[in-house]
Amino acid sequence: MNGHITREEDFDLYALGALDADEKREVESHLSACADCSRKLAEAQGRVAALGLSAPLVPPSPQVKERLLRQLREAQAAPPLHPEKPAAWVSKGSPSREHAGVFLASGWTWALAFATAALALAAIFLWIENARLARQIAGLRDSIQQQQKQLDETRNVAHLFESRDTVTVPLESMPGMPRGAVRVLYNSQMGLLMYDGWIDPPPSDKSYQLWVVPMEGAPISAGVFNPATDDRAHWMTKVPAGVAVKAFAVTVEPAGGMPHPTGPKAFVGPAS
């Protein structure tokens, strides 16, 4: 085993002795050199012990009791193992009853121990299965959320292109700035903006930042981006609905962007 134990249930299965020989050897080989996995195994062994001790005692069924009594009667009726010494079992009443009581108590003890062990094992395997199912459900939930997000974005793009209120604004590259071809699709009623285009990658310590320049008030940041290549890209973002836009601009800012424009304008386009 080259890396850490990736399946958490393997710790519990090892503590239960339920791994096959090859898996057990791999786990033991890894545990000898990994303190973190050894700690997790100790926790699993503690869980197994706790479940075994916490399992409720379940009274044996009437069938178990009847079987034990039947075995007791058969043992009393059977001939002695040593005919030459029958008195030790038959001649005196009290020793027979004493032996019978010991036999019955022993049978009940074994039945209770077996039931407790069975319940403990069932609880451990149920816990492992529940943990596995919980991980699967969490993965499915994340997948559904991601698919829903993609579906919402696709619908928004379709609505943006279909709406009569959407304006398309080409942005012109400023002299001495990076090369590129950029346009912005904007719908003030929907509060949606889509960037579409390509720009040469910025310097290593810089980022591009897209701004909505309103008729009144300060510019509104519409996103920070760092294209790694000159491939065409597009992305969508939300902006305050109902804003009367004067222009759009892309500036060169310190890496990660700024709350307000500070760098030179790389691309600018008037909204009308």
Residue 130 shares a structural domain with residue 171: no
Q: Average pLDDT in the 245-269 region?
A: 96
8 Å CB contact between 199 and 227 = yes
Residue 67 shares a structural domain with residue 152: yes
Compute the distance between CA of residue 10 and CA of residue 37 in angstroms, rounded to an integer: 11
Which residue type occupies 172? E
Examine the fold and report which residue of 157, 183, 205 is the final residue of a domain before the chain moves on. 157
pLDDT the model gives residue 224: 96
Instruction: Give pTM, 2 decimals.
Output: 0.48
Query: Is 162 within a domain?
Result: no
Q: What is the pLDDT of residues 122-176, one digit of tens each?
A: 777 777 877 777 787 888 888 888 888 777 777 877 888 788 889 999 999 999 9
Q: What is the pLDDT of residues 56-101, one digit of tens each?
A: 555 656 665 676 667 667 766 666 555 554 444 444 445 555 555 5
Compute the distance between CA of residue 130 and CA of residue 56 in angstroms, rounded to an integer: 21
181, two tokens = 């071809």
8 Å CB contact between 270 and 169 = yes
Nearest alpha carbon to residue 76 among 97, 92, 56, 59: 97
Query: Based on the structure, what is the number of domains in the chain?
Result: 3
For 25, the domain range is 9-54
Nearest alpha carbon to residue 100 among 119, 77, 117: 77
Residue 116 shares a structural domain with residue 172: no
98, two tokens = 């004493």
